[in-house]
Every structure is written in structure tokens, then in C-alpha cells.
Amino acid sequence: MSKFRADFLVKGSLVLPFGSEPKVISGGDPPFEMLLCNADPNAAGHTPALTVHMIADCDAIENVAGQFRTLLAQQLDVLSFVTHSAFRIDECQRVIDWEPHQKSRRIRPMKKFDPFDPPDPELHRELIDTAQAITRAKQEDYVIQAQRSFRDGVIEQQPEDQFQHFWLAIETIAEGSKATTRAPIPCPKCQGALFCSDCNESPLRRPMARQAIRQLLSAIREDGGGRFYRDLVRTRDHLLHGRSPDTVEKEVGLPLPVLVNEAGRAAWHAILNSMPKLEGTPVFAHRDGHFVNNVVILTPDMVFEYDGIAPHPSEAQIPKVEMSMQVRFGPA
């Protein structure tokens, strides 16, 4: 294990008072030190964000940004609770070797780019006409609410948050569309009807929420009521009960991005199947079923030399790297 420093830009509704020295928060499980500094002032002279230096041990420089981001997020959860204020990790700006008096140091500057900035020029007339047809159709209130949850899932930045919104869309459709007639209580193992030998009959009830979700997923895809249902339910339960994304992936046995994409597709089909017949010939766009929000991160591997007199280099002694990206639409 080696010691590293990762610098994060944190945007939100609070920064340090003007002229303040960096503030330190430290912990011991795992050991870390977190220095909070104000970012450089903007053109108006205001501080736009915090720059947070996370210092801790890691097994490889390639893993620092992800592991330290999780560590930082936990501390921002606490800070948000204490202050009733928003703190959002915008990006990891660089990772540096941080062993005391180390002369040759690796540095990985990072620059985040939004893959949809600028947006695709693909909002065609046919899509607008389909949106108009949906607006004119008489939709149930629960379908309208599910569309809101679906959009929230599409625009959220973290996969675990995306999954929760897509699951809510599925649950909303299942609850709103479930049959009002009473049905037999299913066996939790084989899903067959439970039977009371004393009464010589199967007890009936209105379908419960999970039973309605299983029925909904079964109608959407062939394996919807089996492994697919169990994977989504376990993911939902683990996330709701505070498990980390890494733990969820280990318990369910699938990467979280795969589960998010599956939940997004299921939510979309559930909403579509709950709509009344639309006028005209509806046209829908798609991104090959890919819903997880990713960013493009440029990360060159570099080395800089330091005299090693002080334990660590000053900000002026750390190289500053500028990176940019050009975007073009259409064929080369």
C-alpha cells in the first residue's frame, strides 16, 4: 500500500469563509485525512466550489480516484447532515504520489467531459409527433407519475440513484395496474397457490406489491418472473438497506451498470404497455438500452521531479495540465 493524494472539486451551497485556512477532517477506519479548501474565485470574486484533498493509502494509483471518491462521499454525507446543505462531487481533478520526501512522483491529471455536451442534433419531427400523441391520450395518473420517475432515472448521475428511480417507475405501474380481484396467496418457493387443509380451500387476497411486480415483469419478458425479478428485487433491497454498490454487485452477481440498464428497459416497457392506443404511427428513439450515465475522463500518466526538502511539494511545485476535447457530428 502506498500513500496518495486525490484532489476533488466539490460543488454545493456552502464554502469556507473568505480568507480561511484549509480545514481538516480525519478518520481511522480506514485512516484518511481530508483537507477542505476554497477553489479559486470566479470572475465576480466569489468562491464557486470547494477543492478537497483526500489523503489515504491505496494499492494502486489506478484505483485511487474510485476508492477515494467513495470515502469522500461518506464524509460529505456527514457534512450535509450537519449543515442541511448540498455537497456534490463534481470530478476528481488529479491523483498524486504522496509519500513524504518522495522526489520522483507520479501524477494523473484528470479532466471530465460530458459525452452529450454538445447534445445530439437528433430530436426529429417524428419524435415530437409521438410526444404530442402521448399528451393527447387519456393516461392514468399513475402512468404519468411513472414517466416522472423514468425521467429522474435517466438524468441521475450515480448508478445506484438511477436504479432506485427506475425501480420506482416499475413499482408505480405494478401497483396502479394490478388486478382488484382477489387471487390465491402464492407459495414463496414455487409460486403455487397455498392450500389450507382445515378449510379445504386456498385463501384469497388482493395481489401484494411484490406479487404485482412479478406479474408485470413476467408480461414484459420471458424470464421476467424468475431470475430477472429476483435480481432486481435483491438489488433494490440491498440499496434501500444501505449496502454499498460494491456489496450489491457481489451479492447479486452482476455489475450495477448492467442492473441499471435492465431496470431502465423494464421501466420503459412497463410504461409503454400501460398507455392507451396512440394515434398515428408512434416513433421512439433509443440508445440500445443503455441508460447508465457515464462521463469521458481524460487521464494522462505523468511523472514530475521534486527536490524533496519539505515533506510534500507546494501547489506551485505541482505541474498544472490543461486538457480539452473537440466534438464533431457527422461522417469524417
Q: In terms of residue numbers, what domain contains 36? A: 2-115+295-317
Can you give the C-alpha Rg of the chain in angstroms? Answer: 25
C-beta atoms surrounding 190 within 10 Å: 7
pLDDT of residue 180: 59
Asked if residue 329 belongs to a domain, the reply is no
Residue 285 lies in a domain: no
Residues 45 and 94 in one domain: yes
Would you say residue 232 lies in a domain?
yes
* Residue 57 forms part of a structural domain: yes
Q: Is residue 280 part of a domain?
A: no
SS3 163: helix
pLDDT at res. 187: 77
Residues 111 and 140 reside in one and the same domain: no
Q: Specify the pairing of strand 87-97 against strand 104-109.
A: antiparallel
Do 188 and 214 fall within a single domain?
A: yes
DSSP states of 251-306: HHSS-HHHHHHHHHHHHHHHHHHTSPPPSS------STT------EEE---EEEE-
Q: Cβ distance 153 to 291 under 8 Å? A: yes
| Number of domains into which the chain is organized | 2
This prediction has a pTM of 0.79
Q: Is residue 264 part of a domain?
A: yes
Residues 264 and 188 in one domain: yes
SS3 54: strand
**How many angstroms separate the CA atoms of 61 and 110, rounded?**
13
| Residues 140 and 209 placed together within one structural domain of the fold | yes
120 occurs within a structural domain: no
**Average pLDDT per block of 10 residues along the chain, 332 residues long:** 96 94 92 95 94 96 93 94 95 96 96 88 93 92 96 93 96 84 72 78 73 87 86 93 89 94 95 92 91 91 94 94 87 74
* Cβ atoms of residues 329 and 117 within 8 Å: no
